[in-house]
Structure 1
Amino acid sequence: MHTAPRHRTHGDPTFRDATTDDVDALVALIESAYRGDDSRAGWTTEADILQGQRTDPEGVVAVIEKPGSKLLAVEVEGRVVACCQLEHRGEHAYFGMFAVSPALQGAGLGKVIMAEAERVAREAWGAREMHMTVISVRDELIAWYERRGYRRTGEMSPFPYGDERFGIPQRDDLQFELLVKEIG
């Protein structure tokens, strides 16, 4: 049986805390992973359920500068190719703003980033759990997180309809589900 070759990342990823100098690259990365036709090259696209922006420079700066928050930039060969947000919330850390360049999706980079994020949350803050919220209709994405040890809680929170900073919904049944994993 012939299988298609997997994408290669051409070098090991390096991790660092993002700075405000990274904002333009990070906004472009996040938009490319979730919105518009470019995002359709990867499997994390939200293009069919949300249009408009996923984030903006102000939103990225807010995450970088917020106390108890980190935005990890992931570089391969000196280029930012992925990122994720970590926020210290007492006994747990919140994981968000996760984006991998569509051209590198499916190569195993996401798993590496998740493991590093969990390690950082454990070591920097002593977090015992990682929490994240995922749009509940994203079955394939939720299944990916479940394979990484996250469990669905059934705990829902509303999607911010009417706030175009988070996108323009293309359906009326969007909500976020809390996923949790014990990490410490």
Structure 2
Amino acid sequence: METVMALTVSLDFGFLQEDVDSFMKQPGNETADSALRKLDEQYQKYKYMELNLSQKKLRLKNQIPQITQTLEILRHMQKKKETTEPMDTHFLLADSVYCKALVPPTDKVCLWLGANVMLEYDIDEAQALLEKNLSTASRNLETLEEDLDFLRDQFTTTEVNMARVYNWDVKRRSRENLKSAESKS
């Protein structure tokens, strides 16, 4: 939420209160079109932020089950390392392509860290690393959810503000047309 809050502060040019007249008197709000343009620009920035946060959320939602599955495998390997018999398993070679293997008891595992990097760890170290990564990913997912909720509130506020400015302008033009009609008669 810190990222969203920081951007919000930098974008903040004064949210409309109930008094649209005072808002329209602020510098940069000479016309309803200029105020609406700024509000729309702010709205588009929020949309862009939502897109980025949604993509991060999707990546985390995919990452968490993978980490959980790897932790389960490590726990199973931890139990099997005390025995002398090999573990019968199937492992993924490619999408939907598995290979059958007999894995001898071991106290070492290799973990893909990303960017084509694989490191060998003791099972205990790998388990600690993955538990830490799972905790971090879960915390980040919660933060992203809060940020997205905050952005949804900002969408609503910005849309309401745009409607208020538009309605203010319609009323202003209506009053001006009425005054000009009265002065002609």
Does TM-score exceed 0.5, indicating one fold?
no
The structure where strand makes up a greater share of residues is 1
- The alignment's TM-score, normalised by the length of structure 2, stands at 0.21
The structure where helix makes up a greater share of residues is 2
Rg bigger for which structure?
Answer: 2
